[in-house]
Amino acid sequence: MILKVENYSLSIQNKQILKNISLEIEKGEIFALIGESGSGKSLFAHSFLKILPEHSMLSGKIILKEENILRMKSSQIRSLRGDKISYIFQEPMQSLNPLHRVGDQIVEMIENHQLLHKPEIKKLLHDLAEKVSLPVEKLKNYPHELSGGERQRVLIAIAIANSPDILIADEPTTALDNELQNDILDLIKNLGFTTVLISHDLKIVKNIADKIAIFKNGEVVEMGKNSDIFENPQNIYTKELLKNPNWKKPSKIGKNKKDILKVENVSIKYGERVLGNFNFSIRESESIGIVGRSGSGKSSLSRAILGLQKFYGEIKNFSGESVQIIFQDPYGTLNPKRTVFSAISEGLEIRRAKNISDEVQKIAKKVHFPLEKLENYPHELSGGERQRVAIARALILKPRILILDEPTSALDRKIEFEIIELLHKLQKQLGISYIFISHDLDILKPIVHKTLKIS
């Protein structure tokens, strides 16, 4: 056993976040923490390194090789980070320094913990690149010059640079397409480190985890071996996460429905690279799915439709420019200093609309958001509730076209099903057209009428 947690609890500003968690992690195993956004799984992993907000109150024990991390001094914790325990954060573009070459950032981690001569550092750097299947010539690149998968490999190289006792991988595949997801998960598995894998999706951990703990509202509601969780789940919440949805087919489009948007011979240029040639149309009340690997141009195409990206070709918008977008991460797009009411009403305030309060309450009811939470802040909501706020904020301006960029990628299966069902219902009520951007065909099948595959 390499890590033992005994009755660990965490409170932040007198609010209990984690409650009496106990578990053991054996050397060399992959231990998955599963739960929706806000369930406490990431804060639990942050506790291993004491990366916690101010005014945090801790109790219990987190024992690494017979040492209680919670009793360590600040200097000991600094030595622990990146050496004994390493963390692969969820979003590489936020974790990597945009002003430094990626090779230099790996070297920085080595130099912080090891006394090596330059030739030894260079050899270790090249060995790490080989281990994570990153071409050596890419070490001279800056983060923005790499693909999503390459950036994730750089983060893994940084994390394993000092051969840590424990590797924490926080949603390491959230923004990647299925093929890259499998590549990264295989890489983590083959590296052989004791790994704590954080995810919202049981599908992702099925073929990689040895043990699984299911988090809900700051508690572990079920824990066991991979086979026990998947073949004989005991908790109702676990069963819901594993349940296959009984999807309805998308409603048929009437023959009288007119084109609302036409994209003709559209291409987007990045330096020497050209993305395109895109051609498709979408009718009133129709849904189209845009599928492709990370970096294929899906999100660039959506920005072109919104007029936020330079493009070549023609985009004919017959909706009166009534287009809104829902981004992948609602938490990142909501202002943490504004209440839910303020976030939803912002567009109406800019337009100086009347009866704003009534309109906000109406749209909140439509997206099944609790009215009593309209004065809450984003951090006080669950992942599903934040996504409902994002949908309400877009729909309050009554768009005829709604672009959804990976709208369920950060949600657990149960909440994912609820959001898809909600979008079905809203389309019937409002006659809105959807452009779904995703790397997951399974998500698109129940809601889109046609699919555009981008290679």
CATH architecture of 3-242: 3-Layer(aba) Sandwich (3.40)
Into which CATH architecture does domain 259-454 fall? 3-Layer(aba) Sandwich (3.40)
**Quick one: pLDDT band at residue 330, thresholds 50, 70, 90?**
confident
Q: What is the predicted pLDDT for the residue at 244?
A: 74
- State how far the Cα of 45 lies from the Cα of 299, in Å rounded to an integer: 31
Judge if 3-242 and 259-454 fold alike in CATH terms.
yes
With bands split at pLDDT 50, 70 and 90, how would you rate the model's confidence at 369?
Answer: very high
pLDDT tier for residue 410 given thresholds of 50, 70 and 90: low
Domain residue ranges in the chain: 3-242, 259-454
> Which pLDDT score, from 0 to 100, does residue 171 have?
86
First to last CA, the chain: 45
Asked if residue 320 has pLDDT above 70, the reply is: no
- The Cα 165–Cα 161 span in angstroms is 12
Is the separation of the CB atoms in 9 and 60 below 8 Å? yes
Tell me the per-residue pLDDT of 91-150, one tens digit each, with 9 for 90 and over.
777 789 999 999 999 999 999 999 899 999 999 999 999 999 999 999 999 998 887 788
pLDDT of 360 reads: 95
The reply to whether the predicted model has a pTM over 0.85 is no
Q: What is the pLDDT of residues 192-244, one digit of tens each?
A: 999 999 988 787 888 899 999 999 999 999 999 999 999 999 999 999 888 87
CA dihedral 13, 14, 16, 18 (to 10 degrees): 50
